Amino acid sequence: MKIVATLAGLGLAAITFLAINPSGSGMSDARLADVAKAAPLASADAPVVLELFTSQGCSSCPPADKLAAQLAKDRSLLVITRPVTYWDRLGWKDTLAREENTALQRAYARKGNEGAGVYTPQIVVNGRHGAVGSNARSVSALSRNAAMTNRPSLAVTPAANGGYTVRIDGKVSGASELMLVALSAHETVPIARGENGGRSISYTNVVRRETRLAPSSPVRQSFSIAARQLRNAKADRYAVILRRPGAGPILAGQYLR
């Protein structure tokens, strides 16, 4: 059963928020385990980037949060969780949410890509196509399609000083930007109020900070990341993403560690 609700006062006119009833669309733990055991959806050398837009205040999101945790076990996928802020007014303020995540999802929606919109849970694949975040079949299909497109990849090499060298393999024309994304690999949050009140929910690869390392046009082929740039008290994992500016498509992504 689908539940559609419209939230006003978010700075966007006529935005519809779609939620999926967990009892009708959530996957069982056995099916989630099957997802983890499935063959890789892409190549570990050129992971497909999945961004999950979720919220602690959204009762339909926990199945998507579980799915993200299973998909993250596939090294051919770079899974990033982006908690949003627009559910905060409904009784519980998301402790992991960032306004930047909300802004990015809105920017994706303005692009008008397939599956675009401002709703939770939503997974956006390579910054191009969106799907309901708990729909493993749709997310897997989009990921496979993304893996078949001709795109560059990022080769990551540890440096002697504790940093990394990132090299772009493949041709990139036009403007792009390389982003360093600081992640918390695992967060479990006890939620006291709101739609998920009384539950503890776990999240995977939660964005804690993003830094633009380099805008580039024409694109440089190699970038250096210093060890000091990898010091964030809230992060224990890092990734790099090459994307078009202005919430454009993601061209490539890779974990640093």
What is the model's pLDDT at position 161?
86
What is the model's pLDDT at position 19?
38
For strand 122-125 and strand 48-54, is the pairing parallel, antiparallel, or unpaired?
antiparallel
What is the model's pLDDT at position 40?
76
Structure confidence by residue, pLDDT tens digits, 136-170: 999 999 999 999 888 899 999 999 889 999 999 98
What is the model's pLDDT at position 218?
60
What is the model's pLDDT at position 10?
38
With 0-12 / 13-18 / 19 or more C-beta atoms within 10 angstroms meaning exposed / middle / buried, residue 214 is middle
What is the model's pLDDT at position 13?
31
Please list the pLDDT of the chain residue by residue as tens digits (257 residues).
Answer: 333 333 433 333 333 334 333 333 455 655 555 555 566 777 888 999 999 999 999 999 999 999 999 999 999 999 999 999 999 998 899 999 999 999 999 999 998 877 878 999 999 999 999 999 999 999 999 999 999 888 899 999 999 889 999 999 988 888 899 999 999 999 999 999 999 999 999 999 999 999 998 776 666 788 899 999 999 989 999 999 999 999 999 999 999 97
Give DSSP secondary structure letters for 140-157.
HHHHHHHHTS---EEEEE
What is the model's pLDDT at position 171?
86
Q: What is the pTM of this model?
A: 0.86
Strand spans (E) along the chain: 2-6, 16-20, 48-54, 77-83, 122-125, 129-132, 153-158, 164-169, 176-191, 199-216, 222-225, 237-243, 250-255
